[in-house]
Amino acid sequence: MKQILIINGPNLNLLGKREPTIYGNRSFVDYLKTIEELFPDVQLRYFQSNHEGELIDKIHELGFDVDGIVINAGAYTHTSIAIADALSAVTAPAVEVHISNVHARESFRHHSYLSAKCKGVIVGLGLTGYELAVRYLMSYKVIEL
């Protein structure tokens, strides 16, 4: 069974309560049930932390074993070279997800340190972005040239 790690960064524990006009009314824990139902053949691991070092530790811990990482690093996306380095260090392919369309928001949200370390980026599609990322990673294969 494929294993996919979903990582959410700071303030994403408040989904459903936090700025609902931007991030919606649904908590992530509730949405996770939907993803689990959509992908019964995938073993999903979920980790959320408000602390940069804990996010890095989790990438190190599971990033050599899982088949893919879906990461929404929240505001650390725009600041953290350390999380970018962690994604480079491990073998699992990663997809970066943002619930909101960061490019339609403040200019400080337009740059991501993580994008270059990811296979792709999904922004602005709400929580659906996570399931699209899982779907991609489920079928991801390293193409050996």
Q: Measure the CA–CA gap between 100 and 88, rounded to whole angstroms.
A: 25
Beta-carbon contacts of residue 142 (< 8 Å; ≥ 6 apart)? none
Residue 72 near ligand DQA by CB under 6 A: yes
43 versus 115: smaller Cβ distance to ligand DQA: 115
Residue 26 near ligand DQA by CB under 6 A: no
Residue 117 near ligand DQA by CB under 6 A: no
Residue 48 near ligand DQA by CB under 6 A: no
Residues for the chain: how many in total?
145
25 versus 43: smaller Cβ distance to ligand DQA: 25
Whether the CB-CB separation of 4 and 137 falls below 8 Å is answered with yes
How far are the Cα atoms of 14, 22, 60, 93 from residue 137, in angstroms, in the given order? 26, 26, 18, 8
64 versus 82: smaller Cβ distance to ligand DQA: 82
The two tokens of residue 60 are 């190190």
Residue 74 near ligand DQA by CB under 6 A: yes
Judge whether 31 counts as a catalytic residue: no
Binding stretches for ligand DQA (CB under 6 A): 11, 72, 74-75, 77, 98-100, 102, 109
Query: Which are the catalytic amino acids?
Result: 23, 98
